[in-house]
Chain A
Amino acid sequence: MVFSSIEFLLYFLPVFFLLYWISPEKIKNVTLVSGSLVFYAYGEPVYIILLILSVYINYYIGLCLGNNREYDKFEDSETEKEKKNSKSQRQKRMLIWTSVTLNVGALALLKWHVGGFAFPLGMSFYTFQILAYHFDVYRGVVEREGSLLAFATYITMFPKLISGPIGEYSVMQKELTKRRVTALQVQDGLKVFAVGLGLKVLLADRVGILWHEIQVTGFESISTPLAWLGAFAYSMKIYFDFYGYSLMAIGLGRMLGFTLPKNFDNPYMAKSVREFYRRWHITLGKWFCRYVYIPLGGSHKKAWRTVCNLLVVWLLTAVWHGTTINFLLWGGILWVCIVLERVLLKPLLQMKFIEKCWRVFSHLYIWIIIPISWMCFAIAELDQLIVYLGRMFNVIPGIYIYAGDWIKALSNYGLLLGVSVVFCTPLPEKLYRKWKDSFPGICILAALFWLSIHRIMQEGNNPFMYFRF
């Protein structure tokens, strides 16, 4: 199930939450886990087995990883204790490697062999969450989770099951067993959910139609201005799609009594690619930083080591998103940008004059480089990607171009793109904070919710599926 579907909004949401709120404190987790399994099974009846297996196996691995007590019982001499400790350490090291091999192996196997739409929903996310938990238990940052139910709740809870945010176990630990659901929280959650739904349905899906139209026309036959408009449209679509989804997840989490981490922080306002990816999909960035970049030495070693570490991180990030060559290109571009920013930009910005100029140009730089990188992300076929980039820079001649295509696109989507740009700034969030508790604000949010539902009903779940020809 997806959040922005009639099945979820009108059937699952009311029924589940009614059951959840009336179930007593003690069995709330049971309700949540079973509800989440229904939620997952609705679209993925086969891979639910994989999910359940994964929860079981990883729960036991986690148990063994966090197993300290047995060895504390022995009151032997120091040397022997050390021996045993090293033995247990060795066992744990083996266990953590087993966990990594199993989880990453299953993920990689399915990514390479199944790929595309048949790929199990949310697997990339829950695998990473499990790994984070194992690493933390291994390092002793957190205690192991003793209850299978609590662990299953942590992994399968439906708000973040499909697309994150990747929640840290240490942060969520308390709420897994003890949490309060107040009416105020529910109301707050609903508000956040309504905003997220609106962003996804009313902005992302509609701006996405422009990108779809360009694909229908064929990249060979678009004018250069339209190629840029298309890249912007896709940049907006992917942002509001994911941002909207994350907001919905956070809202749902709040309605359940959880505090899920923020995933986006106005990324398009960033002044460098490095900053962009600190504001974009924050939880994934943190994951890679904490479990890959820092263990490799981070930026505390020699300069060339930092560059190599960054390369590893971006290589993995790229492969995590997809296994086709275009994702490597996407990661590669970002890596080059980040390295250049470190090596060239940093020393240059020491000079006052350049720093002042850069304040203006940095936004321009982001709004040019990020859409280009998104095109590498979006177009899987290399030859098609080359054509598109060629059209963006007018180095590949077009075939049968309709000269007025970009004017038509602007007149149809100009307003939407404009609204999208406004929503890229921090302004809407400020307004939301100011107005969300006032009566007109509540009315607007409720209207947003039903307007979104109205659009979904009209178009079906997929805005392109019931498209008129």
Chain B
Amino acid sequence: MIVLLGMGLVYFSCTDSWMVYAKPMKQAQEWFGRQKKELDNKDNDSENVSGGNAAGDSSSIEDTDAEITTETTIEATEETFQSETSQLETSQLETNQSETLQSESWPAENIHTVSSSDAGEKREQIVYGRVEEDYFADALFIGDSRTVGLYEYGGLEEIATFYASTGLTIQKMFTAPIVKVPGQKEKQTIEEALTEKQFAKIYLMIGINEMGSGTVDSFIEEYEAVIAHLQELQPDAIIYVQGIIKVTNKRSQQGDYIHNEGIEARNAELAKLADNKNVFYLDVNPLICDEEGGVIANYTYDGVHLKAQYISIWKEFLKDNGVEKVVLD
């Protein structure tokens, strides 16, 4: 018993987990309507964690905010803060909705449309249209578990290159060691891999893990930086920014940070990153979603990942929407 409690003390202090108690204590405080100051005094029992606590507390306010929305006892200051943010969110949503309408602007499917661009001395033509699987031979897919699914069940594992890992985020994209190198034990980062090898096409499918943290704006900023860095490393590559695959309506309504409204907002902004010269936007969602805007329930078990047999819809979509740069004499 003593050992158990002792070990608990050590564990809590080492991992700075006293926070666990701070949250309900704060809730209790709100119930009794006491002042915030008291909490901070009361909480900082142990000296060595006091710094961590103060920082942690401020972050836990954000957490509890979301939970408390249904409760009636909210401090006045927080209430005003909340209403402000919700206003912001709704206005953002409205603008996003209008934008998503515009963003479905893929130049007519399957028809070869031609547009020209004069990049310096070379005259390039961009050809849109259906491509075959060998198109992916010099393509690279970067992404999270959805791309892992494409790797495993898309039938492209022998053809294309995949730098994909479950839980990959835009922030850690270049620094996470996820690239297997044959004959080497340690994994490379994407940064290292891309300095060694050049690709002609790079497909990005990333963004659902980031929804728990940051805002749409911060996400897009980071995404933009990633594209810029990719272009530095791979100047000749066509970059495909793929709209984040949505989730089912049921999953969307589950009440956590993953919801289709958030995905739509992000996709609307992602679409704007395309310049249709080097960066292109692709969105498979219309092919796999129902009228209500969520992924068709039968296509997935967990509401987030397409079942293996439906991955082919995505693959065929990518094949239908290839881009090729043709250099004109």
Report which A residues bind B (CB closer than 8 A). Answer: 6, 10-11, 183, 186-187, 190, 194, 212, 215-218, 220-222, 399-402, 405, 439, 442-443, 445-447, 449-450, 453-454, 457, 464-465, 468-469
User: A450, B256: Cβ atoms under 8 Å?
Assistant: no
Which residues in A have their C-beta under 8 angstroms from that of B114? none
What are 9 A-B contacts defined by CB distance under 8 Å?
A216-B301, A218-B309, A218-B310, A400-B312, A405-B152, A446-B3, A450-B8, A457-B17, A469-B145
Residues of A contacting B: mostly: helix
Q: What distance in Å separates the Cβ of A412 from its nearest Cβ neighbour in chain B?
A: 11
User: A447, B1: Cβ atoms under 8 Å?
Assistant: no
User: B24, A220: Cβ atoms under 8 Å?
Assistant: no
Which B residues between 1 and 16 are near A, CB-CB below 8 angstroms? Answer: 1, 3-4, 6-8, 11, 15
Interface string of B248-259 (1 = CB under 8 A from A): 000000001000
Interface string of B157-189 (1 = CB under 8 A from A): 100000000110000000000000000000000
Identify A183's interface contact among B1, B145, B167, B304, CB under 8 A. Answer: B1
User: A215, B11: Cβ atoms under 8 Å?
Assistant: no
Q: What distance in Å separates the Cβ of A333 from its nearest Cβ neighbour in chain B?
A: 24
4 further interface pairs, Cβ-Cβ under 8 Å (given A183-B1, A190-B4):
A217-B307, A402-B157, A450-B7, A469-B304
List the 4 shortest-distance A-B pairs measured between CB atoms, nearest first: A468-B167, A218-B307, A221-B308, A402-B152
User: A402, B7: Cβ atoms under 8 Å?
Assistant: no
User: A446, B7: Cβ atoms under 8 Å?
Assistant: yes
Q: If A400-B155, A405-B152 touch, does A469 touch B3 (CB 8 Å cutoff)?
A: no
The size of the chain B interface, using a CB distance under 8 A, is 36
User: B302, A221: Cβ atoms under 8 Å?
Assistant: no
Which A-chain residue is minimally distant from B208 (CB atoms)? A469
Q: What distance in Å separates the Cβ of B302 from its nearest Cβ neighbour in chain A?
A: 5
User: A454, B11: Cβ atoms under 8 Å?
Assistant: yes
Interface string of B294-328 (1 = CB under 8 A from A): 00000011101101111110000000000000000
Once bound together, how far apart are the Cα atoms of A222 and B308, in whole Å?
A: 9
User: A469, B146: Cβ atoms under 8 Å?
Assistant: yes
Q: What distance in Å separates the Cβ of B103 from its nearest Cβ neighbour in chain A?
A: 23
User: B302, A216: Cβ atoms under 8 Å?
Assistant: yes
Q: If A400-B153, A442-B3, A464-B302 touch, does A220 touch B309 (CB 8 Å cutoff)?
A: yes
User: A221, B11: Cβ atoms under 8 Å?
Assistant: no
Which residues in A have their C-beta under 8 angstroms from that of B256? 465
User: B312, A10: Cβ atoms under 8 Å?
Assistant: no
User: A468, B308: Cβ atoms under 8 Å?
Assistant: no
User: B302, A212: Cβ atoms under 8 Å?
Assistant: yes
Which residues in B have their C-beta under 8 angstroms from that of A402? 152-153, 157, 308
User: A454, B312: Cβ atoms under 8 Å?
Assistant: no
Which residues in B have their C-beta under 8 angstroms from that of A399? 308-309
Q: What distance in Å separates the Cβ of B145 from its nearest Cβ neighbour in chain A?
A: 5
Which residues in B have their C-beta under 8 angstroms from that of A216? 300-302, 305, 307
Identify A400's interface contact among B6, B301, B308, CB under 8 A. Answer: B308
Which residues in A have their C-beta under 8 angstroms from that of B208? 469
B209 within 8 A of A: yes
Which A-chain residue is minimally distant from B143 (CB atoms)? A469
B283 within 8 A of A: no
Which B-chain residue is minimally distant from A405 (CB atoms)? B152
Which residues in B have their C-beta under 8 angstroms from that of A450? 7-8, 11
Which A-chain residue is minimally distant from B11 (CB atoms)? A450
Q: What distance in Å separates the Cβ of A409 from its nearest Cβ neighbour in chain B?
A: 11
Which residues in A have their C-beta under 8 angstroms from that of B311? 400
Which residues in B have their C-beta under 8 angstroms from that of A469? 144-146, 166-167, 208-209, 304-305
Once bound together, how far apart are the Cα atoms of A28 and B245, in whole Å?
A: 55
Which residues in B have their C-beta under 8 angstroms from that of A194? 4
Once bound together, how far apart are the Cα atoms of A186 and B1, in whole Å?
A: 8
Which residues in A have their C-beta under 8 angstroms from that of B8? 446, 449-450
Identify A221's interface contact among B6, B15, B166, B309, CB under 8 A. Answer: B309
Once bound together, how far apart are the Cα atoms of A47 and B3, in whole Å?
A: 39
Once bound together, how far apart are the Cα atoms of A253 and B301, in whole Å?
A: 38
Which residues in B have their C-beta under 8 angstroms from that of A220? 307-309
Which residues in B have their C-beta under 8 angstroms from that of A215? 301-302
Interface string of B134-159 (1 = CB under 8 A from A): 00000000001110010011010100
Which residues in B have their C-beta under 8 angstroms from that of A446? 3-4, 6-8
Once bound together, how far apart are the Cα atoms of A331 and B304, in whole Å?
A: 33
B20 within 8 A of A: yes
User: B17, A449: Cβ atoms under 8 Å?
Assistant: no
Which residues in B have their C-beta under 8 angstroms from that of A221? 153, 307-309
Once bound together, how far apart are the Cα atoms of A341 and B27, in whole Å?
A: 59
B81 within 8 A of A: no
Which B-chain residue is minimally distant from A218 (CB atoms)? B307
Once bound together, how far apart are the Cα atoms of A450 and B146, in whole Å?
A: 33
Which residues in B have their C-beta under 8 angstroms from that of A453? 11
Q: What distance in Å separates the Cβ of A418 from its nearest Cβ neighbour in chain B?
A: 23
User: B153, A217: Cβ atoms under 8 Å?
Assistant: yes
Once bound together, how far apart are the Cα atoms of A294 and B169, in whole Å?
A: 61
Q: If A187-B1, A468-B167, A469-B144 touch, does A10 touch B20 (CB 8 Å cutoff)?
A: yes
Once bound together, how far apart are the Cα atoms of A40 and B304, in whole Å?
A: 32
Which residues in A have their C-beta under 8 angstroms from that of B209? 468-469
Once bound together, how far apart are the Cα atoms of A217 and B146, in whole Å?
A: 11
Which residues in A have their C-beta under 8 angstroms from that of B11? 450, 453-454
User: B301, A218: Cβ atoms under 8 Å?
Assistant: yes
B32 within 8 A of A: no
Which B-chain residue is minimally distant from A445 (CB atoms)? B4
Once bound together, how far apart are the Cα atoms of A464 and B304, in whole Å?
A: 12
Once bound together, how far apart are the Cα atoms of A216 and B311, in whole Å?
A: 12
User: B3, A443: Cβ atoms under 8 Å?
Assistant: yes
Which residues in A have their C-beta under 8 angstroms from that of B6? 446
Interface string of B173-212 (1 = CB under 8 A from A): 0000000000000000000000000000000000011000
Q: If A215-B302, A454-B11, A469-B144 touch, does A11 touch B24 (CB 8 Å cutoff)?
A: yes
Once bound together, how far apart are the Cα atoms of A216 and B20, in whole Å?
A: 32
Q: If A215-B301, A469-B167 touch, does A6 touch B20 (CB 8 Å cutoff)?
A: yes
Q: What distance in Å separates the Cβ of A253 from its nearest Cβ neighbour in chain B?
A: 17
With a 10 A CB-CB cut-off, give which of B21, B145, B309 has the most chain A CB atoms: B309
With a 10 A CB-CB cut-off, give which of B209, B300, B304, B307 has the most chain A CB atoms: B307
Which residues in B have their C-beta under 8 angstroms from that of A186? 1
Which residues in A have their C-beta under 8 angstroms from that of B1? 183, 186-187, 190
